[in-house]
Amino acid sequence: MSLRVINTVSDLESVHGLTFVPTMGALHDGHLSLVQAGLAHGDEVIMSIFVNPKQFAPGEDFESYPRTLEQDLALAESAGTAVVFAPDVDTMYPPNDAQPGPPLPAVATEPGLEDGHRPQFFGGVCTVVARLLDLVRPRRMIMGEKDYQQLLVLQAMVDADPNRWPDLDVIGAPTIRADDGLALSSRNAYLDPDQRLRALGLSRALHEAQLESTVDAAEARMVSVLEQHDLDVDYAVVRDDRTLMPVTGACRGHRGLIAAGLDDVRLIDNMAM
Ligand code: PAF
């Protein structure tokens, strides 16, 4: 079956009850694994491709974010996607439309992780995903665990408003990694070969943290590995895997999370401890 590409809200009216995979395009195998996870649930998959200006702060990479629509459509189709919704900015944010975003759940404001370092990020993500969910009206949404805090934030946003999104499941799918361990990300396209080697510091730090038994030792080990790879640490922490708030004592069962700067690229990764 061939891919159907939709750009307008009125064309979406004939589509509902599918499995939804929201993306900003620049598709890689991580995104395609979300489509496959969706197909495994037995419904057709609708993917959105929209680089959301509201989740980028001034000075971040909104302008330079990779935009590869033709290639994305071919990849989406090859993975078995039934529909791609690729709106423009005025479709998602009509001029003069002042509808506020949804209230942010605690996991979007209290941990001091992405929320602390990108204060406008979750407001922008929740605003666009809430609008997309209202338009697409899916049965379930599949998100990658690579953006672990984002996954928890969107699960909490949907759970907090069952009248708006009744019976909608938000499901996390495992991070897909290159053979050398680097988590797949559209922003990896920014890395030159030397930087890509340094970027391996994130997954190495998380793997080494898994060998430690306490939170303090795991966090110290992650910082040390990141510094050995000449990375600037935003955070390298072990947190509760649902609330993302600090924990003490044994690290087993919690989540290791890292954000680090590599020259002007910012990378994130996480693993279960
Ligand atoms: O993870 C992303 O690609 C984006 O944050 C999302 C969920 C598509 C919202 O723009």
Q: Is the CB of 51 under 6 A from ligand 1?
A: no
- 114 touches ligand 1 (CB under 6 Å): no
CA angle 80, 142, 103 (to 5 degrees): 145
Q: What is the pLDDT of residue 1?
A: 66
Q: Which atom of ligand 1 is nearest to the CA of 144?
A: 1
Atom 1 of ligand 1, nearest CA residue: 23
Instruction: Show the low-confidence residues of the chain (pLDDT under 50).
Output: none
Reading the block at residue 176, the tokens are 């897909």
Domain ranges of the chain: 4-173, 186-272
| CA–CA dist 237, 220 (Å, integer) | 9
Any ligand 1 atom below 6 A from CB of 147: yes
CA dihedral 264, 220, 186, 90 (to 10 degrees): -80
Ligand 1 pocket residue status of 22, Cβ below 6 Å? yes
Check pocket membership of 23 for ligand 1, CB cut-off 6 A. yes
From 32, 33, 55, 114, mutation site for ligand 1 pocket: most ligand atoms within 8 A of C-beta: 55
Q: In CATH, what class is 4-173?
A: alpha beta
- For residue 98, the model assigns a pLDDT of 84
Q: Is 254 a catalytic residue?
A: no
Strands 255-262 and 265-272: antiparallel
Domains 4-173 and 186-272 share a fold: no
Q: Is 267 in the pocket of ligand 1 (CB under 6 A)?
A: no
**What confidence score (pLDDT) does residue 144 get?**
97
Under CATH, what is the fold of the domain 186-272? Pantoate--beta-alanine Ligase; Chain: A,domain 2 (3.30.1300)
Return the ligand 1 atom nearest residue 51 CA: 10
- Does the beta carbon of 129 sit less than 6 angstroms from any atom of ligand 1? yes
pLDDT at 120: 94
The atom number, within ligand 1, closest to the CA of 154 reads 7
- Smallest CA separation from ligand 1 atom 5, residue: 125
CA 85 to centroid of ligand 1, rounded, Å:
14
Which amino acid residue places its CA nearest to atom 9 of ligand 1?
125
Burial of 12 (0-12, 13-18, 19+ CB in 10 A): buried
Of residues 31, 41, 117, 254, which has the active-site annotation?
31
Distance separating the N- and C-terminal Cα atoms of the chain: 42
